[in-house]
């Protein structure tokens, strides 16, 4: 599949586009920025395009379970991730497809991929991934990202002309 949009992984590792405009981006690696974004904007968007530098099965499950994303463009995906996304109606454009996502040193399968491969129960999977990514879901349930909890949240606030703690 030819990618319609070309990601700029020099500028970000993850970016979300809805309605033709970028609504979120992060330079942070791992699952945490994806988990946080999906939780904060749950039920606010649909049909989004995701640029993610690496998409393993854990990211694929998060993407599908969120219901927010209809297309993924990635530099690297795992075979299980690509299959899972396609099987659930999410278009995928990947530069490189590998057997599994490995740890940075290349000696083992990434912990998120391991959790996703062994956990079929959605709730159990989400609990384990939130623990792995060190995301406290209660922080988002209370403020929905309006508190300045993370640096990108402050940036999001500023982009809307708001100051953290003063959101309405």
**Total domains present in the chain:** 1
State yes or no: pLDDT of 151 exceeds 50. no
CB 79 within 8 A of CB 98: yes
- Of 140, 131, 93, nearest in space to 112 by CA: 131
DSSP codes, 12-71: -SEEEEETTEEEEEE---SSHHHHHHHHHTTTT--SEEEEEEEE-HHHHHHHHHH--EEE
In this prediction, residue 52 carries a pLDDT of 93
Region 136-165: mean pLDDT is 49
In this prediction, residue 152 carries a pLDDT of 46
As a whole number of angstroms, the distance between CA 101 and CA 151 comes to: 27
Strands of 39-164, DSSP E: 48-55, 69-78, 91-98
Residue 131's H or E segment, with its range, is helix 122-133
Q: Worst-scoring range by mean pLDDT, 51-55, 124-128, 156-160?
A: 156-160
- Of 27, 33, 32, nearest in space to 9 by CA: 27
State yes or no: pLDDT of 3 exceeds 80. no
Q: Which residue has the tokens 């640096």?
A: 151
In this prediction, residue 60 carries a pLDDT of 96
- Of 85, 81, 83, 58, nearest in space to 70 by CA: 85
**Domain span including residue 33:** 14-159
Q: How far from 115 is each of 11, 73, 141, CA to CA, in Å?
A: 29, 23, 24
Question: Residue 160, Cβ neighbours under 10 Å: how many?
Answer: 9
Question: Is 3 contained in some domain?
Answer: no
Tell me the three state secondary structure of residue 2.
coil
pLDDT tens, residue by residue, 54-81: 999 999 999 999 889 999 999 999 999 9
In this prediction, residue 13 carries a pLDDT of 86
In this prediction, residue 168 carries a pLDDT of 36
Question: Is 168 contained in some domain?
Answer: no
pLDDT tens, residue by residue, 81-107: 999 999 999 999 999 999 999 988 888
**Nearby residues of 104 by Cβ (< 8 Å), 6 or more positions away:** none
Question: Is 46 contained in some domain?
Answer: yes
pLDDT tens, residue by residue, 15-54: 889 888 888 888 888 888 888 777 777 778 889 999 999 9
In this prediction, residue 143 carries a pLDDT of 45
In this prediction, residue 135 carries a pLDDT of 60
CATH number at residue 100: 3.40.140.30
Question: Is 85 contained in some domain?
Answer: yes
In this prediction, residue 7 carries a pLDDT of 86
In this prediction, residue 99 carries a pLDDT of 95
Question: Is 88 contained in some domain?
Answer: yes
Q: How far from 40 is each of 3, 24, 78, 94, 146, CA to CA, in Å?
A: 27, 11, 26, 26, 9
């Amino acid at each position: 599949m030819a990618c319609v949009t070309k990601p700029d992984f020099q500028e970000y590792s993850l970016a979300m586009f809805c309605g033709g405009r970028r609504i979120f981006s992060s330079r942070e690696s791992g699952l945490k920025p994806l988990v946080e974004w999906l939780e904060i904007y749950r039920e606010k968007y649909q049909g989004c395009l995701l640029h993610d530098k690496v998409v393993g099965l854990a990211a694929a499950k998060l993407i599908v379970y969120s219901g927010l994303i209809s297309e993924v463009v990635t530099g690297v995906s795992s075979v299980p991730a690509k299959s899972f996304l396609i099987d659930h109606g999410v278009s995928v454009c990947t530069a490189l497809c590998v057997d599994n996502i490995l740890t940075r040193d290349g000696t083992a399968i990434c912990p998120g991929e391991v959790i996703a491969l062994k956990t079929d129960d959605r709730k159990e999977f989400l609990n384990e991934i939130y623990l792995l990514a060190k995301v406290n879901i209660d922080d988002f349930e209370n403020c929905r990202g309006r508190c300045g909890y993370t640096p990108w949240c402050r940036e999001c606030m500023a982009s809307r002309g708001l100051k953290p703690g003063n959101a309405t």
